[in-house]
């Protein structure tokens, strides 16, 4: 097997495997157990297709048109018509990583043998992933029930040599030309294959898995930012003691507090005001309650990961092929395509992103107010009045946080009937996933601005020295070209540099290289 390829078998695809294929361009190969399962499922479909008894998805129409029996000579056209008509997306193109992720997850379901796909069709999907051919999928078209129909249909359209794809270099090409250039041939869909390719929650699930991966990094980075803010604002680390946290035994809270203790260890800034001369009784909530908020976020995402893991183990299609090798087998209709389980946690995760960003913005704002920043210049400006310092960086944070609050309004409570009232309750999970991606990006930006501001404040506390962990972050920023305190300069490029340091994991790596792995 190619070292840069993963095998897709009957078992579930993992978070790391999805990231490898979706984000790092790994190829895909079908495992031997998947080949056996696919061939067995196909045998059942072909036997039922030869029967005179109508079977939904094989010899009937679809959705509200399921009552029409389709004669044998029209079934190839039936599958082609299904894919063409359902590839009705509109709007901007969906990101390459999302399309690759949803293709991988659809292939994973095909590999279970419960969809009745032909082996050659599944192999073509794997070959497209390996060749870096990415169908053009559009923003709008999925209601998150009957799966992500329109997005998956655009992928299926490419398999039959129609529609558009982007090649490995990002060039937009007609699918037929791109397939030919990769020495691949389009398929002629057989009975059941159209439905098998388009009836799943794969798009919303792929976006959930990638968002959870990103949020895991961002929550540890949020602890880093909080520690720098506590330190820079002369806050106390005593409130993070395990003895106090254990009185409220939420695991996420304990982990976040332990991180803060480790991050602030050996801080000269903290030590400078730890003695009897310090008269501050309590820090503001945004400092003191960081573990409670970050911890609740962690525990919520633990539930989200549980749901995502269960969904990764699922075979979502309608109808599904059932039966053991050697048995007769059958095809059964079901409702497993409904996206509610995924939609709910997509919305939960957007709430998490909004609230963690909200407390981050409040910590940042305290640095800029001379009445609350304990001796630092207003707005951390070099010459207040002439210079504005980080005044407008906080405006940018506030604008993003306000947007995140709007994005936290759940999509999953909405439903709009479709398909002549046959599909009369839908999940809107795709919409929940799309807004979560924007939420993750927004949280990244908010944390970057807190880090930028806290680093400037820590420099202004000199000659007091920050902790080894927070000092490593300050050095990373300075070595990356983000200057320390001084007269006003063009701030936007520095914000973007810090955003990339957060997104790439460089900030987290700088800390963990210094004090070891965070919780």
**Residue 56 annotated to the active site:** yes
User: What's the pLDDT at 420?
Assistant: 76
CB neighbour class for 276 (10 Å; exposed up to 12, middle 13-18, buried from 19): exposed
Domain 5-200 fold: Fumarase C; Chain B, domain 1 (1.10.275)
Read off the pLDDT of each residue in 298-302 and give the average, rounded to a whole number: 98
Q: pLDDT at residue 1 above 50?
A: no
Residue range 374-382: average pLDDT? Answer: 96
Both tokens of 309, joined, read 């893991």
- As given in the structure block, the two tokens for residue 44 are 């059942």
323-333 average pLDDT score: 82
Listed in order, the ranges of the chain carrying CATH 1.10.275.10 are: 5-200
Confidence of residue 55 (pLDDT cuts 50, 70, 90): confident
Determine the pLDDT at residue 215: 98
As annotated, the residues of the chain forming the CATH 1.20.200.10 domain(s) are 208-319+332-515
- Check residue 71 and give its pLDDT: 78
pLDDT for the residue numbered 281: 67
Q: Which of 26, 56, 344, 395 is catalytic?
A: 56
Strand partners, 90: 140
Answer whether residue 145 shows pLDDT above 90.
no
Phi, psi of 28 (to 5 degrees): -140, 140
* pLDDT tens by residue, 451-469: 999 999 999 999 999 999 9
Q: Residue 353: pLDDT band by 50, 70, 90 thresholds?
A: very high
DSSP per-residue codes, 481-504: T---S-S----HHHHHHHHHHHHT
Higher-pLDDT residue of 416 and 104 is 104
* Cα of 145 vs its chain's centroid, Å: 20
pLDDT of residue 185: 98
Q: What is the mean pLDDT of residues 285-289?
A: 97
Axis crossing angle, helix 429-460 with helix 391-407, rounded to the nearest 10: 160
Digit-coded pLDDT (tens) for 28-46:
999 999 999 999 999 999 8
* Those residues with Cβ within 8 angstroms of residue 226's Cβ, 6 or more apart along the chain or in another chain: 260, 287, 290, 294, 360, 363
Which pLDDT belongs to residue 436?
A: 98
Cβ count within 10 A of residue 57: 29
Q: Which CATH class is domain 208-319+332-515?
A: mainly alpha
Whether the pTM exceeds 0.75: the reply is yes
pLDDT in tens, 189-228: 999 999 999 999 999 999 999 999 999 999 999 999 999 9
**Which pLDDT band holds residue 78 (cuts at 50, 70, 90)?**
confident
- The shares of helix, strand and coil residues in the chain, as percent rounded to the nearest 5, are 55, 5, 35
pLDDT at 438 (0 to 100): 98
- Once rounded to an integer, what is the mean pLDDT over residues 134-150? 92
């Amino acid at each position: 097997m190619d070292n840069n390829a993963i095998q897709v078998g009957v078992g579930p695809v993992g978070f790391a495997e999805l990231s490898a294929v979706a984000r790092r361009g790994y190829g895909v190969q079908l495992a031997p157990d998947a080949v056996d399962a696919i061939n067995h499922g196909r045998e059942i479909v072909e036997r039922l297709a030869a029967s005179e008894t109508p079977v939904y998805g094989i010899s009937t129409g679809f959705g509200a048109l399921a009552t029409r029996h389709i004669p044998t000579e029209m079934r190839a056209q039936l599958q082609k018509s299904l894919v063409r008509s359902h590839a009705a997306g509109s709007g901007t193109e969906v990101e390459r990583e999302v399309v690759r992720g949803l293709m991988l997850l659809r292939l994973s379901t095909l590999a279970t043998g419960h969809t009745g796909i032909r082996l050659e069709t599944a192999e073509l999907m794997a070959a497209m992933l390996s060749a870096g051919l990415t169908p053009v999928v559009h923003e709008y078209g999925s209601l998150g029930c009957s799966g992500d129909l329109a997005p998956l249909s655009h992928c299926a359209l490419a398999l039959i040599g129609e529609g558009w794809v982007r090649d490995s270099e990002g060039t937009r090409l007609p699918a037929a030309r791109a397939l030919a250039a990769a020495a691949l041939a389009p398929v002629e869909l057989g009975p059941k294959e159209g439905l098998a390719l388009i009836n799943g929650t794969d798009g919303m699930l792929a976006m959930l898995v990638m968002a959870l991966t990103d949020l895991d990094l961002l929550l540890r980075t949020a602890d880093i930012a909080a520690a720098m803010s506590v330190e820079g604002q002369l806050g106390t680390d005593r409130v993070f003691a395990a003895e106090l946290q254990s009185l409220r035994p939420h695991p996420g809270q304990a982990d976040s507090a332990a991180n803060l203790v480790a991050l602030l260890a050996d801080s000269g800034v903290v030590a400078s005001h730890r003695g009897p001369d310090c008269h501050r009784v309590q820090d503001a909530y945004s400092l003191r309650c960081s573990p409670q908020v970050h911890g609740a976020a962690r525990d919520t995402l633990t539930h989200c990961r549980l749901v995502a893991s269960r969904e990764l183990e699922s075979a979502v299609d309608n109808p599904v092929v059932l039966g053991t090798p050697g048995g007769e087998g059958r095809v059964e209709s079901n409702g497993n395509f409904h996206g509610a389980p995924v939609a709910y946690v997509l919305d939960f995760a957007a709430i998490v992103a909004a609230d963690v960003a909200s407390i981050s913005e409040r910590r940042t704002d305290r640095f800029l107010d001379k009445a609350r920043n304990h001796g630092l210049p207003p707005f951390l400006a070099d010459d207040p009045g002439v210079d504005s310092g980080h005044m407008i960086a906080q405006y940018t944070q506030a604008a993003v946080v306000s947007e995140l609050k709007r994005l936290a309004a759940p999509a999953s409570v909405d439903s709009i009937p479709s398909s002549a009232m046959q599909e009369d309750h839908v999940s809107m999970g795709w919409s929940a996933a799309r807004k979560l991606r924007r939420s993750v990006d927004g949280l990244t930006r908010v944390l970057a601005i807190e880090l930028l501001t806290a680093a400037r404040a820590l420099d202004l506390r000199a000659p007091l020295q920050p902790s080894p962990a927070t000092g490593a972050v300050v050095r990373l920023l300075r070595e990356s070209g983000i200057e320390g305190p001084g007269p006003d300069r063009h701030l936007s490029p520095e914000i973007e540099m810090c955003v990339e340091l957060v997104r790439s994991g460089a900030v987290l790596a700088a800390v963990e290289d210094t004090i070891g792995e965070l919780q």
